[in-house]
Homo-oligomer: A and B are copies of this chain.
Amino acid sequence: MGLKTVKLSFLFNFFGNDYFSLVAFLQACLLYLFYRWCYAIYLGHMSQQKLNLDKTDEFGEDFEITATDSTTFPPTYLVIRVHPASKEEAVKWLVGKIRGKKLLGGAELVVLRKPYDEDGLEFHVSASPIKFLEIAEEMELVKRDKHGQMREFTVNDLENFLVDGMNVDDFLTSAERQAIIRHELENIRALPTDIHVPGYPFYSMCEGQSVLHKCIQCGIISSIYALHDQEHLKKLGRSWYRSVFQKQPLDEIKIYFGESIALYFTFLGFYTTALLFPTFLGFVQLLVSIETLPVFCIFNVIWVTVFLEMWRRKSNELAYKWGTIGMTSLGEPRANFRGQMGKDPITGKLCPQYPRYKTYLKMYCVSFPIVIACLVGAYIIMLISFWMEDQIKYNPETWSQDLLLLPSVLYTALVYVMNCYYRKLATFLTEWENHRTQSQFDRHRVTKLILFEFVNNFMSLFYIAFIIQDMEMLRSQVATMLIILQAINHMQEAVLPLLINVGFAKISQWKNGWKNTRQTKSKQKAFEDSRYSREFLETIPAIDPSDSRLNQAEQEGQLEIYEETYDDYLEMFIQFGYVVLFSSVYPAAALWAVINNVLEIRADAFRLCLVHQRPISRKVKDIGAWQRAFEVIGGLSIMTNCGLLCLSPHIRSRMAHKTDLEYILTFIFLEHILLGIRYLLHIAIPDKPEWVRVELAKKSYESRQALKHEKALKSKRYLTRRFNTVHSKHPISGPALGNK
């Protein structure tokens, strides 16, 4: 057997014992080419559209004189679409709230109106530059000051936050401005006089409720979305999805999309880099003898633990740099947090109060049992599907073998349906539990979802591995999931919506053409068409019909909504599970994961920039429930891998001299040692890098000093007033001093 044969057999080993994986690899390559091709088409389409846009601009020049000078209007940050059937009273009330004075419960924002309203009114919301700064102070936005320190921004201290040469207009990032507008809109709260939504006596309200969310619930507002900043986006795209093998522009992502999405991409990058280690290990593992497998097991455990601990450090580092590290569950309540209005025990501000123990009661006494019941249900359905498969397989006289795939197909379909309902249930339960902050809400919602996904995605593999004990089946399952399903995912996530969009864009282009002819009608006509009174409409300044924002708002309104980072993390979580839980049967898993992730990073970027509506930026300090979920998988991986090694007939035959009992005890011992190592690593690696700890301690020290001075100053003033009384009562500077 020459060298060449050895090499080939090595490749053969690596890609699984059937050529299945090799085929899949080729498929993946094809997929990648397809993706590049689609992208090229899309780019072509975009540039064509840009051309159209430019044309519109030219076309619009005729109106420049008659229309309001919209260039002095601030850029649009959020678009609110009102349902066409909404009553005028309600819309008037809502707009009044948005534009109203702070003291009267308004948000003091700037509202612009779309000049015509055949699909319902459309409002463009923005704010004046000084308003942005004021709200930033109110939101306790943490920014880096001149001296490089992270601290709460105040308008009075603005000068100190403008790092050399920075203009005040560049001070807040695009994501921050958007978040500020969203924050103000969400925090328009019902006054005691707002008993119900005007015009809808059945939609009653209680004091402190978020007006915006009520309007969304009642269907008065049909959608709210953010507008892209085309120029900024193009610049970002150039350094991001268009340069596949370069570093991700994470700072830019944070500036444009906000912390939540930037953290996801940082995680994805960090995780993919970390995966190189098990990929390498997977290669080595195939070259060595089978007795050394436990050694790889140890390496894997160390890798998983170190990776997660290092990520926690990294995440804390970012949270410090982004000024979000101080977020706690006692922070600002989310808009939908219900409770009696009262003074916050911490800030003293008026906000809804709800006792925490009630949330705990609801969580542990209602949600927890319900979730457990759902998990058990899902598990039972899985068992039934396996049982049916067995029935069909082993009773060929009763069942036709053509039906062999039926249980799997049925199961998959059922899981898909269950998932949809379960998501709704989880969201409902978490909303009902009434968590105070958005982070808490997300954490508890995501925890519920993860548990269900865990049962659906991994339980069948556990069943195959430890109950049926069919290693070949397990290996092919893992490979299928990692190769085929991930490829399908790419298709579903990036390519499909892209194709649909291109189609839609064609239609909307046609529609636009029609609209443009309509726009030539006078402004007067717009008022006549409307179901709202002219008096009302005239109070709101309209955008110039030639403004490109109108077109953009319409186009982006049709794009798919990006629903948080949940699905993206979930994909990574499931992949991580496959890679670490069953790494000892399928060492090539890490390689597939790396290949997928390199594509995923760019595909997700592409999706965010071009396929979805611009997501509303969110501040987060960590990846929330996912950190723990990954850690639990890391812990479980010790048990599964030890179990798999133990079940491996190769290893058993090598250790034939041991009795069954001795053999099993060996692996149990190994498992406990690994659990011990994990624990040691966990306590040996600090959660935060030293410099972050020092910076935080420094800030805390300075704050405390400031408080001391403030209190001392106050006290001094007070003391000066009552000097005589105090002097005679506490002889501090009196005769007692003589001793010194």
- Please list the residues of chain A having a beta carbon within 8 angstroms of any beta carbon in chain B: 72-74, 108, 110, 128-131, 133, 140, 151-152, 154-160, 162, 167-168, 326, 328, 330, 345-347, 356, 628, 635, 639, 660-661, 664-665, 668, 672, 679, 683, 690, 693-694, 697-704, 706-713, 715-716, 718-719, 726, 730-733, 736-737, 739-740
Contacts and interface: CB of A to CB of B under 8 A. Distances in A.
B709 A710 contact: yes
Contacts of A709: 706, 710
Nearest to A162: B730
6 contacts: A129-B737, A140-B704, A158-B732, A328-B693, A346-B694, A706-B706
B732 A697 contact: no
Given A328-B697, A703-B703, A740 B708 contact: no
Nearest to A739: B128
A740 B347 contact: no
A159 B718 contact: yes
Contact of A156 (B72, B140, B715): B715
A346 B737 contact: no
Given A706-B709, A715-B156, A110 B739 contact: yes
Contacts of A739: 72-74, 110, 128-129
B715 A347 contact: no
B154 A694 contact: no
Nearest to A153: B708
Contacts of A698: 345-346
A328 B718 CA distance: 34
Contacts of A740: 108, 110, 128, 130-131
Nearest to A167: B730
A711 B160 contact: yes
A140 to B, nearest CB: 8
A162 B732 CA distance: 13
Nearest to A628: B683
Given A159-B726, A345-B694, 6 more contacts: A130-B740, A131-B740, A151-B707, A154-B711, A156-B715, A706-B707
A156 B712 contact: yes
Contacts of A711: 151, 154, 157, 160
Nearest to A712: B156
A157 B154 CA distance: 27
A668 B665 CA distance: 10
Contacts of A708: 151-152, 154, 157
Contacts of A635: 679
A655 to B, nearest CB: 15
Contacts of A733: 130
B130 A732 contact: yes
B330 A693 contact: yes
B715 A157 contact: yes
